[in-house]
Amino acid sequence: MNAVGLNITWIIFMPILVIIIGLFYLGAARKITARIQNRYGPPIYQNIIDVIKLFSKKNPTNHGVMFSLGPVMAFSGMLISLLFIPIGNKALLSFNGDIIVLLYLLVIAPLGMALGVGEGGNPMGTIGIARALTLMLGYEVVLVISIISVILYTGSASFMEIIKMQSGGVGHWFIWPLFLSALAMDMALQGMLGEKPFDQPVAPHEVASGPMVEFGGKYLGLLQLYHAIGIVVETGIFVNLFLGGGTLFWWFVKSFAVFFVALLINAVMPRFRIGQAFAFFWTYPAAIGLIGLILVAILK
């Protein structure tokens, strides 16, 4: 029972930790982007200020019940996904669901947000959602190909099993034997994180920040938190599958490293058109992933 008790402590503590770290990730992202652009950039804790400010704002416009529930659902959906991914050898709830469960839990959040945006009734928001979903159709295929190759390679869809198999140093990480799959997944991750060149859904110059167009104040604050957790979870999938998990510290280091790569690409890339982005995912990353998958299937 002791183990269970510990688990519950972590279950309560981990989301708070991840939110703070995720906000720091976002702040770091802004700082790093600024440095790349030869700017000074905001302080690294800027996003925490932003969230505090957003929650302190008064009278954001509400368009209906679903509009309010949307961000809540997005936040909660990401929170529950967080619990199903092992973070730094802490299994949390991940014994109760495998990668596929996580993949589908990850969908609750965008779905909730999409419904909220829908009730907002702003066509730009809906265009953003339509773009996001199209993008999702693009990267999900690549993501799934990579995940299937990992599952085929290990014979298990459980995160803990996969992490266990990678224990024993850098050499045992799956990024080496499954390099092509990892590469494909990293590309998919770029889309998942919504970093350039795949930031069409929120493209501020085209659709006025897309889904978020009607959200202000605490709605936006919830979405910021959702985004912060999302980054950790999404990079965490990569860390757990290919970089061998690790202790809490190293886990976050690896996770940030994955995010850092995405950031570098983000900082120097222009934006695809949405059709191009979709077509891109279904050509190069999918092809790379498929080659990786075939190699796994043959070599296995």
Partner 1 sequence: MMKLLYFIGCFSGGALLAFLLGSFSPLLKKFITFLAVILGAVLFATMGTSTYQLSLLFGNQVIFGIDTLTQFMVWMTLGIAFIVSLVLWSHSELSPTFFALFLLNVLGTVLIFMSRDIVSFFFSWELMSWTAFGMILSDGWEKKRSAAVKYFMWSAAGAYMVLIGFSILFAATSAIRFENIVMSVGRVSHGWLITAIAFLVAGFGVKAAMMPFHVWAPDAYSESPHPFTGFFSGILSKTGVYGIFIAFFYLAARLEAVPMLRVHGTSIFGYIMVWIGAITAFGASLIAVHQEYGKKLLAWSSVSQLGYIIFAFGIADSLGMTGALSHALAHALFKALLFTILAGVIMRTGTDHMASLGGLIKRMPLSFIFAVVGGLALAGIPMTIGFTSKWIIYEAGINGGYIFPTTLIFAASTAAFLYYYRFVYSIFLGPLHEEHQNVKEVPATYWISYILLAIPIFYFGLYPGKLVGIISTILQSYNLPALTTYTATSVTTPLGTFNGMVVGLGFGAALIVGLIVYFIGGRVRKAASQTDKYLAGEVVTNEFELHYSVDFYRFLERKLSWLLKISAQKFYEFIGELIRFVADINRKMFFCGNGQAYLYYMTIVLTILILSIWRIKP
Partner 2 sequence: MTKAKPPKGLKGWAQGRSLWMLHFCTGCGAIEMPPTMTSRYDMERFGITPMATPRQADLLLITGYLTVKTLKRVIRSYEQMPEPKYVVGFGSCTVNGGMYWDSYNTIKRLDLYLPIDLYIAGCMPRPEAIIDGFTELIEGIKKGKFDGWIRYKENLEYYKRNQAMVMDIRKWSLDAELAERIWNEVQEERRKRFERATVKHVYELAERIPEGLPK
In the complex, which residues of this chain contact partner 2 (CB under 8 A)?
30, 34, 37-43, 46, 49-50, 52-53, 56-61, 204-205, 208-209, 212-217, 220
Phi/psi-derived region of residue 123, left when phi > 0, alpha when psi is between -120 and 50, beta in every other case: alpha
* Residues in region 190-219 near partner 1 by CB under 8 A: 208, 213-214, 217-218
CB-neighbour burial class of residue 252 (10 A; exposed 0-12, middle 13-18, buried 19+): buried
> What is the C-alpha to C-alpha distance for residues 75 and 69, in angstroms, rounded to an integer?
10
* Residues in region 12-41 near partner 1 by CB under 8 A: 15
Nearest residue to 291 via CA among 144, 180, 151: 180
Distance of CA 264 to the CA centre of its chain: 16
- Please report how close the Cβ of residue 38 comes to partner 2 at its closest, in angstroms: 4
- Please choose which of partner 2, partner 1, none residue 40 contacts, taking the beta carbon within 5 to 8 angstroms, the exact cut-off set by kind: partner 2
Close Cβ partners of 130 (under 8 Å, ≥ 6 residues apart): none
Among 86, 97, 211, 244, binds partner 1 (CB under 8 A): 97
Of 144-152, 183-191, 244-252, 253-261, the window that binds partner 1 (rule: CB under 8 A) is: 144-152
- Please report how close the Cβ of residue 216 comes to partner 2 at its closest, in angstroms: 3
> What is the C-alpha to C-alpha distance for residues 208 and 163, in angstroms, rounded to an integer?
41
Is residue 124 part of the contact set for partner 1 (CB under 8 A)? Answer: yes
- Please choose which of partner 1, partner 2, none residue 134 contacts, taking the beta carbon within 5 to 8 angstroms, the exact cut-off set by kind: partner 1
Q: Helix, strand, or coil here: 90?
A: strand
Nearest residue to 32 via CA among 281, 291, 296, 268: 268
Is residue 98 part of the contact set for partner 1 (CB under 8 A)? Answer: yes
- Please report how close the Cβ of residue 113 comes to partner 2 at its closest, in angstroms: 15
Among 14, 28, 129, 239, binds partner 1 (CB under 8 A): 129
